[in-house]
C-alpha cells in the first residue's frame, strides 16, 4: 500500500503540471517498457490486488500493467527516454493496441483484438503482452529469436489458437515476475493447440501461465521445450496437456489438472533435471509423462495421480534412466503402471513412493485367457537398480499385482526397498480344461535375477503371494561378500490357492499356487547377505528352486509354516549359517531322489520341524542320499519319514564316504525351548564346545542328524544342556552358537559317531 500511495502522489502531482512536452515512462530491468506524452493521458488509476494493476487511459487507448511488471516510473521533459527493444502489445476487451519502436522491421496487423506480427529484424526483440481480450489472439513470425514477455495477459480465441509463435532460431517465452497469464482456445477451433510454438522454446521467468485446450492439445511445441523457471498450469486439454518434439526440464513447475490423453509428452528424447511436475488425470490409457524415445530423469519432484484403466505415470518407449529425484506416484486403474519402459529401466538413485491399487484383468489372446497386471515398476526387457529408496504399496484392491516386474532380467546392487503387496491371487481357466493361477509378487522377473546388495523389507499378505520370484536363475549376494551389504527380510502371510483338486500322490494330490518368500525356477545361489524369512499361511514356503539350491555364504533364518527350503533338485550347504524352523512341514526338503540330494559341505545348517512325523528336519526321501563333503556343521531334528517312500530310508541311514563323523539319532527326544544344547566330546561340565544350539519351540524329535567339525567315526559324543547361552561366541545367530564357553552340564543323550 505504501508503494501505491507513493506512486499516486507522484502521478497526481506530475499530471497537474502544464507541461505539454512531458513524457511518462514505465521501466523494468533497465528497459523502458511503456512511454506516452502526458497530454495523451486522460487518467491513471490502480485497480484490484494480488497484484494490483496500474491502468493508463489514453485518448485513444487503454493500458493495464500489474505493479509487479515495472520497477519505476519517470517523467522526462522534451527529450523522452529511449524506448528499449520492446514492442508493447496491450489488449482491452475486443481491441488491441501496439507500441512499435521498429516500424521499418516489425510489421503489425491488428484486427479487433487479434494481433499479427511479422518481423524481419535480425535483433532479438522483446514483445511485451498485457491485458485481456475475447476473442483475442497473438501471432508472430520472426526472423530472429523473439522474447515473448507475458506480462499479465489473458487471451481467449474461440475460433483458433490463442497464441501462435514461429521462429526457426527458437523462441523465448518469458513469464513476467508475479504475473498471472491465461490462454484458451475454443470449441469452434480447428487448430491443434491453444498455444503453438513452432520451434525450440525456452520458458523462463517467475510468473504463471495457465492454458486450456478445448479442441486438442493445450500446448504444442514443434521442437524442444526447455523450461528453466516459471509455472505452467494446464487446466484441461482434450488431447495432450503439453506435447513437444523434445523435452528438457531444468526448473520451474508444470501442473496438469486434467487431460484427455498424455499429460506431458515428448516425441523424441525427454530429459528432466529439476523442477516440479504435478499431474492428475482420470482418462483411460494415458501416459502422464512419456517419451517416444529415451527418457532420463536426474532430479526434480514428480507427483502423479492417475485413475484410468491402463494408465501410466511415467513411460518411455525406449530406455528409461532415473538418477535422482522425488517420485510420488498413485495409479488406481486396472492394468495401470507406475513406471513403464518398453526397453530397459536403469535406476541409480531417487526417492520413490508408489501406490498401485488397480487390479488384474484377463484378456483373451489367441483364444486363451492371459492376465494383465497392475504394476508399480514394469519393463518389457531388463531392470537394473543400483540405488534409491523405494516405498511401494499394492493395497488389497490390487489382486495379482506386481511391485517390480521385468519380462527380462532384474539386477539389483543397492537401494532401500519397503514393498508390500496385499491383494489376493486367483485361479483361472486358461482355455478348455487348462487352469492356472496369478499371484502378487514384490519382485518378479521372467528371466534371471541377481540381487547383490541393498536393504529389503518385502511383505506379501494376499493368497499365493510371493516375495521374490525368478523364472530363471536367482543369485543373492556376491562371493565372499559382506553380510551387511545385502539385508533381506521377506514375509508372506497368505494361504495357498487351489488351482485344481484331487489327483494322486501320497498326500492326495491337487494343484496349488503356494505363497513363497523366495522362489526360482532355475538354479538358486546364495553367496552372502543376511536373510530373514517368515511365512504363516497354508503352503507358505521360504526358499524354493525347481532346479537346485546352493548356499555358499551369509546368514539365513527361515521360520515357515511349510517347507523352509525346498528344491526339486539338490540342496548344498557349503558356507555361511542357515537356520530353518518349520511348524507345519519339513524344514529342508529335497526331491532330487539321488545321492547328494542334501549335501553338507563347509556350511552350517540347523534345521528342525515341530510338526511331527513324517515331517523332518532334513528330508530327501532317503537318508542315504545325504552327503557330508566338508567340515561344516549339520544339526537336524524332527519326525521320522518312515519307510513308505521309494528307496526306504527308515529312521536312519548310512552316508557314503563322509568327510567327518556323523550320527542319525533315532531315539525320541524332546528338545525344549529355553535350553541350550551343546555337542561335546565329554560328559558333564567342560570338554570341547563343538556347537551349541537352542530351539525356538519345543521339538519332539524321533530323527536327528548330528555332524560337526572334528567329529571322528567311532568316537562317543555327548549332547548336554544348560539354561545359559555360551559366553563370547564367535557366531550367534537364531539359536546357533559357534565358539565361546558353554556352561551346559546335564546330559540329554550320547551317541557313537558313524
Instruction: Give the model's pLDDT for residue 500.
Output: 85
Nine cell digits for residue 50: 494480488
> Which DSSP string corresponds to 42-87?
EEEEEE-SSS-EEEEEESS-EEEEEGGG-SEEEEEESSPPPP-SEE
Instruction: Give the model's pLDDT for residue 90.
Output: 94
Nine cell digits for residue 493: 502371510
Instruction: Give the model's pLDDT for residue 18.
Output: 44
Question: Residue 137: in which H helix or E strand, if any?
Answer: strand 137-142
Instruction: Give the model's pLDDT for residue 375.
Output: 98
Q: How confident is the model at residue 644 (pLDDT cuts 50, 70, 90)?
A: very low
Q: What Rg, from alpha-carbon coordinates, does the chain have?
A: 37
For residue 36, CA distances in Å to 71, 99, 190, 208, 723 come to 17, 10, 39, 28, 99
Q: Would the pLDDT of 316 be above 90?
A: yes
Give the separation between CA 224 and CA 407, rounded to whole angstroms: 32
Q: What is the mean pLDDT of residues 50-76?
A: 76
b/e map of 515-546 (b: 16 or more CB within 10 Å)? bbbbbbbbbbbbbbbbbbbbbbbebbbbbbbb
Q: What is the mean pLDDT of residues 557-580?
A: 98
> Which DSSP string corresponds to 183-201?
EEE-TT--SSEEEEE-S-E
Question: Residue 211: in which H helix or E strand, if any?
Answer: strand 208-213
Q: How confident is the model at residue 685 (pLDDT cuts 50, 70, 90)?
A: confident
b/e map of 378-392 (b: 16 or more CB within 10 Å)? bbeebbbbbbbebbb
* Count of other CB atoms within 10 angstroms of residue 181: 27
Which residue do the cell numbers 519345543 mark? 698
Q: How do strand 361-365 and strand 368-372 relate by DSSP bridges?
A: antiparallel
Q: Would the pLDDT of 535 be above 60?
A: yes
Instruction: Give the model's pLDDT for residue 10.
Output: 46
Q: In the chain, what percentage of residues exceed pLDDT 70?
A: 92
* Count of other CB atoms within 10 angstroms of residue 194: 31
Q: Name every residue whose Cβ is closer than 8 Å to that of residue 450 and which is 6 or more positions away in sequence.
A: 409, 410, 411, 412, 474, 475
Q: How confident is the model at residue 2 (pLDDT cuts 50, 70, 90)?
A: very low
How many Cα neighbours within 13 Å face the side chain of 229?
A: 9
Indicate the average pLDDT of the chain: 91
Instruction: Give the model's pLDDT for residue 1.
Output: 34
Give the separation between CA 745 and CA 754, rounded to whole angstroms: 24
Q: What is the mean pLDDT of residues 425-446?
A: 93
Q: What is the mean pLDDT of residues 587-614?
A: 96
Residues 128-154: tens digit of each pLDDT: 999 999 999 999 999 999 999 999 999
Give the separation between CA 649 and CA 644, rounded to whole angstroms: 9
Q: What is the mean pLDDT of residues 53-72?
A: 76
Residues 80-122: tens digit of each pLDDT: 555 566 899 999 999 999 989 898 899 999 999 999 999 998 8
Residues 493-520: tens digit of each pLDDT: 999 999 987 654 444 567 889 999 999 9
652 burial level (CB within 10 Å; 0-12, 13-18, 19+): middle
Residues 10-56: tens digit of each pLDDT: 444 444 444 456 778 777 656 666 777 788 888 888 887 766 778 88
Give the separation between CA 447 and CA 162, rounded to whole angstroms: 51
Instruction: Give the model's pLDDT for residue 655.
Output: 96
Confirm if 450 and 417 have CB atoms less than 8 A apart: no
Residue 278, helix vs strand vs coil: strand
Strand order in the sheet with 22-28: 31-37, 22-28, 72-77
Question: Residue 10: in which H helix or E strand, if any?
Answer: helix 2-15
Instruction: Give the model's pLDDT for residue 52.
Output: 77
Residues 357-410: tens digit of each pLDDT: 999 999 999 889 999 999 999 999 999 999 999 999 999 999 999 999 999 999
Residue 14, helix vs strand vs coil: helix
Give the separation between CA 440 and CA 432, rounded to whole angstroms: 24
Instruction: Give the model's pLDDT for residue 29.
Output: 59
Residue 540, helix vs strand vs coil: coil
More confident residue, 7 or 710: 710
Residue 319, helix vs strand vs coil: coil
Give the separation between CA 346 and CA 256, rounded to whole angstroms: 26
> Which DSSP string corresponds to 404-451?
EEESS-EEE-S-EEEEEE----EEEEEETTEEEEE--EEEEESS-EEE
Q: Would the pLDDT of 574 be above 60?
A: yes
Tallying the residues shown for the chain, one arrives at: 754
Nearest to 565 by CA among 585, 591, 542: 542
Q: Would the pLDDT of 598 be above 50?
A: yes
Amino acid at each position: 500500500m505504501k508503494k501505491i500511495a507513493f506512486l499516486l502522489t507522484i502521478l497526481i502531482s506530475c499530471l497537474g503540471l502544464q507541461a505539454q512536452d512531458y513524457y511518462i515512462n514505465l521501466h523494468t530491468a533497465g528497459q523502458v517498457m511503456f512511454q506516452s506524452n502526458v497530454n495523451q493521458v486522460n487518467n491513471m488509476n490502480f485497480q484490484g490486488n494480488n497484484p494490483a494493476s496500474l491502468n493508463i487511459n489514453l485518448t485513444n487507448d487503454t493500458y493495464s500493467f500489474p505493479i509487479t511488471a515495472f520497477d519505476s516510473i519517470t517523467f522526462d521533459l522534451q527529450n523522452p527516454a529511449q524506448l528499449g527493444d520492446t514492442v508493447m502489445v496491450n489488449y482491452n476487451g475486443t481491441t488491441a493496441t501496439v507500441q512499435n519502436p521498429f516500424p521499418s522491421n516489425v510489421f503489425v496487423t491488428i484486427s479487433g483484438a487479434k494481433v499479427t506480427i511479422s518481423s524481419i529484424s535480425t535483433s532479438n526483440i522483446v514483445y511485451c503482452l498485457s491485458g485481456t481480450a475475447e476473442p483475442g489472439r497473438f501471432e508472430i513470425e520472426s526472423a530472429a529469436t523473439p522474447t515473448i514477455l507475458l506480462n499479465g495477459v489473458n487471451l481467449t480465441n474461440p475460433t483458433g489458437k490463442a497464441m501462435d509463435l514461429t521462429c526457426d532460431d527458437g523462441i523465448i517465452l518469458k513469464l513476467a515476475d508475479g504475473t498471472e497469464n491465461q490462454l484458451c482456445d475454443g470449441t469452434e477451433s480447428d487448430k491443434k493447440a491453444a498455444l503453438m510454438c513452432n520451434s525450440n522454446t525456452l520458458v523462463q521467468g517467475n510468473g504463471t501461465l495457465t492454458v486450456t485446450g478445448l479442441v486438442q492439445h493445450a500446448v504444442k511445441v514443434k521442437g524442444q521445450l526447455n523450461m528453466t523457471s516459471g509455472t505452467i498450469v494446464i487446466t484441461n486439454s482434450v488431447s495432450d496437456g503439453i506435447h513437444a518434439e523434445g523435452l528438457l526440464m531444468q526448473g520451474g513447475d508444470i501442473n496438469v489438472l486434467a487431460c484427455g490423453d498424455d499429460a506431458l509428452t515428448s516425441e523424441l528424447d525427454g530429459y528432466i533435471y529439476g523442477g516440479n511436475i504435478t499431474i492428475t488425470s482420470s482418462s483411460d490409457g494415458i501416459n502422464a509423462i512419456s517419451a517416444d524415445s529415451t527418457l532420463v530423469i536426474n532430479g526434480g519432484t514428480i507427483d502423479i495421480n492417475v485413475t484410468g484403466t491402463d494408465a501410466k505415470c511415467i513411460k518411455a518407449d525406449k530406455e528409461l534412466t532415473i538418477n535422482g529425484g522425488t517420485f510420488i506416484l498413485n495409479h488406481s486403474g486396472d492394468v495401470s503402471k507406475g513406471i513403464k519402459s518398453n526397453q530397459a529401466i536403469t535406476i541409480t538413485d531417487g526417492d520413490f513412493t508408489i501406490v498401485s491399487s488397480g487390479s488384474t484383468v484377463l484378456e483373451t489372446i489367441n483364444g486363451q485367457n492371459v492376465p494383465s497386471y497392475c504394476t508399480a515398476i514394469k519393463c518389457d526387457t531388463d531392470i537394473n537398480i543400483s540405488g534409491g529408496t523405494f516405498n511401494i504399496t499394492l493395497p488389497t484392491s490390487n489382486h495379482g499385482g506386481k511391485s517390480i516386474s521385468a519380462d527380462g532380467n532384474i539386477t539389483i546392487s543397492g537401494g532401500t526397498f519397503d514393498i508390500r503387496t496385499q491383494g489376493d491371487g486367483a485361479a483361472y481357466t486358461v482355455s478348455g480344461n487348462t487352469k492356472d493361477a496369478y499371484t502378487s509378487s514384490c519382485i518378479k522377473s521372467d528371466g534371471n535375477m541377481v540381487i547383490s546388495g541393498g536393504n529389503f523389507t518385502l511383505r506379501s499378505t494376499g493368497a499365493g503371494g510371493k516375495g521374490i520370484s525368478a523364472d530363471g536363475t536367482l543369485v543373492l549376494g556376491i562371493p565372499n561378500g559382506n553380510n551387511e551389504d545385502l539385508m533381506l527380510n521377506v514375509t508372506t502371510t497368505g494361504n495357498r490357492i487351489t488351482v485344481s483338486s484331487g489327483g494322486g500322490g501320497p498326500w492326495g494330490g491337487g494343484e496349488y499356487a503356494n505363497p513363497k518368500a523366495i522362489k526360482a525356477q532355475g538354479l538358486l545361489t546364495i553367496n552372502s547377505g543376511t536373510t530373514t524369512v517368515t511365512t504363516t499361511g497354508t503352503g507358505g514356503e521360504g526358499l524354493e528352486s525347481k532346479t537346485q539350491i546352493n548356499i555358499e555364504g551369509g546368514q539365513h533364518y527361515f521360520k515357515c509354516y511349510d517347507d523352509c527350503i525346498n528344491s526339486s533338485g539338490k540342496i548344498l550347504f557349503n558356507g555361511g549359517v542357515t537356520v530353518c524352523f518349520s511348524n507345519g512341514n519339513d524344514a529342508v526338503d529335497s526331491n532330487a531322489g539321488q545321492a547328494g540330494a542334501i549335501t553338507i559341505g563347509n556350511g552350517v545348517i540347523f534345521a528342525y520341524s515341530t510338526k511331527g512325523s513324517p515331517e523332518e528336519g532334513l528330508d530327501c526321501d532317503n537318508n542315504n542320499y545325504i552327503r557330508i563333503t566338508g567340515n561344516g556343521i549339520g544339526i537336524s531334528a524332527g519326525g521320522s519319514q518312515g519307510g513308505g517312500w521309494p528307496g526306504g530310508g527308515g529312521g536312519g541311514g548310512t552316508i557314503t564316504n563322509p568327510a567327518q563323523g556323523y550320527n542319525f539319532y533315532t531315539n525320541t527326544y524332546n528338545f525344549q525351548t529355553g535350553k541350550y544344547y551343546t555337542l561335546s566330546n565329554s560328559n558333564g561340565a567342560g570338554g570341547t564346545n563343538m556347537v551349541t544350539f537352542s530351539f525356538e519351540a519345543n521339538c519332539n524329535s524321533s530323527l536327528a542328524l548330528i555332524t560337526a567339525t572334528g567329529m571322528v567315526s567311532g568316537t562317543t559324543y555327548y549332547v548336554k544342556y544348560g539354561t545359559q547361552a555360551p559366553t563370547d561366541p564367535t557366531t550367534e545367530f537364531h539359536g546357533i552358537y559357534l565358539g565361546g564357553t558353554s556352561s551346559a552340564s546335564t546330559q540329554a543323550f550320547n551317541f557313537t559317531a558313524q
